[in-house]
Amino acid sequence: MEVAQDIVKKNFTGIDFKDILNDLIKEIEMRNYMITRISNIDNILDRSNSGNGTDVKFRYYKIVEFCNLESCSQLISSDLLAGVFMPVRFIVYQRIEEDKIYIAFLKPTAFANLFNSKKIKDLAEILEQDMHDVLEEIVF
């Protein structure tokens, strides 16, 4: 896996963080996915990156996990180890010094390539397309 190729990142401006998060959740749910958890890592302004001395400062940071139980069941039926990358997730964050809001995800096909299964790859391609569509349909 290569970060530059396997992580999709899009940024948005001119919208409130809570509004974009709500729009993201609505778009996910409209595609028959269930939100399984939203991790809120807010108000933690200083974090050190693994010993390199760089501080990362952010205003908001959310991890939105979601799953379609039917697709998940099909993936696991193909290979019991496929569950290691379920549920899938978007990260949504905003740095302290910026108005931009970023949404990113790891491509499901990057995970699928770890398995030697056409069925897993086919399901991952559908999921990945849905994730791209969600980003394109976010309404402000």
pLDDT tens by residue, 82-112 = 888 889 999 999 998 889 999 999 999 998 9
Q: What is the pLDDT of residue 140?
A: 53
How sure is the predictor about 51, in pLDDT bands with cuts at 50, 70 and 90? low
pLDDT tens by residue, 60-80 = 999 999 999 888 888 888 889
User: Nearest Cα to 62, choosing from 35, 29, 27?
Assistant: 35
Just give the CATH number of 3-137.
3.30.310.70
| Beta strand segments in the chain, E | 7-12, 34-40, 47-48, 55-56, 58-67, 88-95, 101-106
Query: Which H helix or E strand runs over 49?
Result: none
Rounded to two decimals, the pTM is 0.86
